[in-house]
Structure 1
Amino acid sequence: MTIAVGQPAPAFELIANTGEKVKLSDFKGKYVVLYFYPKDMTPGCTTEACDFRDFHDQFAELEAIILGVSPDPAEKHQKFVEKHGLPFLLLVDEKHEVAERYGVWKLKKNFGKEYMGIERSTFVIDKEGMLIKEWRKVKVKGHVEDALAFIKEQG
């Protein structure tokens, strides 16, 4: 399945760090900032999560919900949330089904080894469930500010 800006965002239901089931449709009427990241507790992922944390109130003022997604289990997500005071849900995609639907499960190379994993990416879904913006191969520095500026532009 190929996703594209201007199309409905692929629906999903995943378990959150809290143990509750979360569906994309739960957030109809709000913007959803859906960000995929490789792994809890790693330097880049921690920086990105903390940046979303630091701007959380500004996203909330714009009626935007932040959801993080990685293949880590709920217990690891919960430790990550507690350690860094993250005020948003982290969703478990252990079988990478949602990552595949969003086209972010990719062949990666690191220190000469090839493996499958999450390509850091962010998607903005509008209040009606349409995909309105995507960032792929995200560089962490300044990214959260870019996402916030984009939602502000939606007015």
Structure 2
Amino acid sequence: MADRLTPGDTAPDFTLPDDKGGKVTLSDLRGKQVIVYFYPAAMTPGCTTQACDFSDNIASLRGHGYEVLGISPDSPDKLAKFREKDGLTITLLSDADKVVMQSYGAYGEKKLYGKTVEGVIRSTVVLDEKGTVTQAQYNVKATGHVAKLRRDLGIDD
């Protein structure tokens, strides 16, 4: 497992396929603050809650200069179904080989129902306009995470 990122680190750049047949490159978003969050699987209860929370808050987050990228190991086709089913308005990216997740420390050993397993670690990394990590949160809870993140970022509208 790669080391976890900490504030001050330069975020690893990446290019990943999105759910609309395109590709997104992180460095193309320089000049914007970016929230990159990693989740285990589209269309599961916790991941749906988290994605819907980000979608419900996207106008406010964008109003404060943030773009949101949700990354999972799901295929672009499954992500497209996820977007359609739940009316998601955030950018969904596929990291099928988990290379980006590993580079961000968001894949590795974790506890699941009392057992140690290998998988996606629900994580959120916030980047400034230059691609530098300002916050790195690991093992976050799906429910209430966006509200906590907004408080951490000083967004209260």
For the 8 Å contact 1:12–1:98, the answer to whether it is kept is yes
C-alpha distance 99-63 of structure 1, shift in aligned 2 (>3 A) = same
Q: Count residues in correspondence.
A: 153
Whole-angstrom distance in 1 between the partners of 2:111 and 2:6 = 26
What's the secondary structure of 1:133's corresponding residue? strand
For the 8 Å contact 2:39–2:121, the answer to whether it is kept is yes
The one-letter amino acid of 2:128's match is D
Query: TM-score if structure 2 supplies the norm length?
Result: 0.90
Partner of 1:68: 70
Partner of 1:81: 83
Whole-angstrom distance in 2 between the partners of 1:151 and 1:64 = 10
Whole-angstrom distance in 2 between the partners of 1:24 and 1:39 = 21
What's the secondary structure of 1:139's corresponding residue? coil
- Identity %, equivalent residues: 42
The one-letter amino acid of 2:8's match is G
For the 8 Å contact 1:62–1:152, the answer to whether it is kept is no
The one-letter amino acid of 1:40's match is A
Residues 49-60 of structure 1 correspond to what in structure 2 (within 5 A)? 49-60=51-62
Whole-angstrom distance in 2 between the partners of 1:36 and 1:97 = 12
- State the Cα deviation string for residues 53-78 of structure 1 (Å, max 9, x = none): 11111101011101000000000000
Offset at residue 117 of structure 1 (A): 1.1
C-alpha distance 98-28 of structure 1, shift in aligned 2 (>3 A) = same
Listed as ranges, the gaps of 5+ residues in structure 2 are none
Whole-angstrom distance in 2 between the partners of 1:60 and 1:150 = 16
Query: TM-score if structure 1 supplies the norm length?
Result: 0.91
- State the Cα deviation string for residues 92-111 of structure 1 (Å, max 9, x = none): 10000000000111124545
Partner of 1:46: 48
Partner of 1:150: 152
